[in-house]
Amino acid sequence: MADYETVVGLEVHMQINTKSKVFCECSTQFGAEPNANTCVVCTSQPGAIPILNKKALEAIIKTGLALDFTINKQCTFARKQYFYPDVPKNYQITQSEPPLCSKGKLAISVEGKEKVVNITRIHLEEDAGKLVHKIGNKKLGYSLLDLNRASVGLMELVTEPELNSPEEVFEFLTELKNIVTYLGTSECSMEEGKMRCDVNVSIRPVGQKEFGTRVEIKNINSMTGVKEAIAYEAKRQKEVLESGGKLVQETRLWEAQEGVTKSMRSKEDALDYRYFPEPDLVPFNLSDSFVKELCTQLPELPKAKKQRFTNDYSLSDYDATYLTSSRETAAFYEEALNNSKDKKMSAKPLANWISTELSAKLNASKIDISQSPISSKNLAKLIDLILNGTISGKIAKTIFEDMYEKSFAPEVVVKEKGLTQISDESKIIKLCQEAIVESPKAVAEFKAGKERAVGAIVGLVMKKSRGKANPQLVNKVLLEQLKP
Ligand code: ADP
Ligand code: MG
Ligand code: ZN
């Protein structure tokens, strides 16, 4: 039986991060009272005139520039006709040919292998409203209409069918989200419906050039859903082919609860949208200077930031990748660094503490670094206390717990609990002498040439000092005392 290759192309809708909608001045705020954010334009009143939001246009162009797209200067809009129960005017205004951005790309890396994925286009369109389905008396159904989302600006990004596994798709979406949130052009949260993804899946025998019949999967609203839906669909298609069946081009829905895709409509029902030019939005051309100006406004993007972190702060690839995995994490790190007494000394330990200790805590409490109970400033102080020898690294971990649970500043915990490290040599000498007397066996072993035996005596000193003795100093003093 032939081995199959999975082929995936994505259609990603991202809500453009502007204060107002794309063709009117209504707010885009999430979670407002139903229909609070509406006006004559977005409720489709006859004769109402759409006016293009310049900021939305800028957001798409910035996104295109960040992803190596060619920006097309002509800007035209069309009506996509359809019976939309959630769009009373029964058409959607969408950008027509050419799209604002053509031929972009995004590099991903899966299991150490780098791959450049070609992106066909990005264009602008408006969102639809939302229907809320209810069951009333005697099980008679009815639906409520909320137009808050109607006419909110979306950018639709379409990739080439070049992704070949659920992992590659996951990486692609993660990278895309990272870049777009760095730009601030969309918040990309799948939970709030600000990023939605239709996944086209087909399979073909390995080595075959022609594509197989594709299925479009809709209704996926989480990153794990995307992965599971692709894996399920590739397996289902393989089973159909291997049992001698034929695949049909169709749209299927992902049922997250059951973990299966179900047929929604076949290609025979495909719609002719009867696109025609939108008469209320005249075509126009973007000027070169407008696009150039947007180029200069692009922030530092994840890749460049990672490079700079590696160079300037001598971080490992792992730490630099982790710290630049979100704009907020990178900002937290640099804020902490700017609050450190000695930037050079703090760079590595700070990176470590953020990528291990802090990230574990934040993951466990399911919160974002921007809501961290430990401020960047306090984390910087904690590292300072370790570096100047006030506390040991081990004690720092218990202080960290208190800082996280109670939002205490580190110096407060150190003082309240009397955790200051003992670096007074005379005190350490005394503790070492006691420990030597109490460890005749280890002393004998050490004198017989087994140097490692000193470890047991160090341990005893640390125990006696309740972890507060400066370990380097203890080592030094013990060796001095044990030398013949
Ligand atoms: P439509 O307008 O009908 O949705 P497009 O040609 O715009 O069709 O393609 C939509 C998406 O389907 C794109 O992301 C593309 O990469 C993907 N696609 C096209 N052919 C295949 C295929 N054989 N297998 C998987 N994905 C495909
Ligand atoms: Mg499509
Ligand atoms: Zn409006």
Tell me the per-residue pLDDT of 298-350, one tens digit each, with 9 for 90 and over. 999 999 999 999 999 999 999 999 999 999 999 999 999 999 999 999 999 99
Number of CB atoms found within 10 A of residue 31's CB: 6
Residue 211 alpha carbon, nearest atom of ligand 1: 23
With cut-offs at 50, 70 and 90, classify the pLDDT of residue 472.
confident
Alpha-helical regions (H) of 246-326: 288-296, 302-313, 317-323
- How far does the centroid of ligand 3 lie from the alpha carbon of residue 150, in Å? 8
**Residue 132, Cβ density class (10 Å: 0-12 exposed, 13-18 middle, ≥19 buried):** exposed
Q: Residue 1: is its pLDDT beyond 60?
A: no
- How far does the centroid of ligand 1 lie from the alpha carbon of residue 251, in Å? 12
Provide mean pLDDT across the span 392-404.
Answer: 89
- Please state whether 149 falls in left (phi above 0), alpha (psi between -120 and 50) or beta: alpha
The residue whose CA has the least distance to atom 7 of ligand 1 is: 158
With the most atoms of ligand 1 within 8 angstroms of its CB, the residue from 10, 102, 214, 252 to mutate is 214
Q: Please name the helix (run of DSSP H) or strand (run of DSSP E) that holds residue 421, with its range, or none.
A: none
Provide mean pLDDT across the span 150-162.
Answer: 98
The structural domains of the chain, ordered by start, are 9-204+264-291 (no CATH), 302-417 (no CATH), 425-482 (1.10.10.410)
Q: Residue 28: is its pLDDT beyond 70?
A: yes
- How far does the centroid of ligand 3 lie from the alpha carbon of residue 239, in Å? 48
DSSP, res 299: P
SS3 152: coil
Cβ-Cβ contacts under 8 Å for 187 (sequence gap 6 or more): 15, 17, 181, 194
Provide mean pLDDT across the span 373-378.
Answer: 95
Find out whether the beta carbon of 78 lies less than 6 Å from any atom of ligand 1. Answer: no
* Cα dihedral 42→45→50→53 (10° resolution): -20
Provide mean pLDDT across the span 351-366.
Answer: 95
Q: What is the pLDDT of residue 24?
A: 97
Provide mean pLDDT across the span 81-87.
Answer: 89
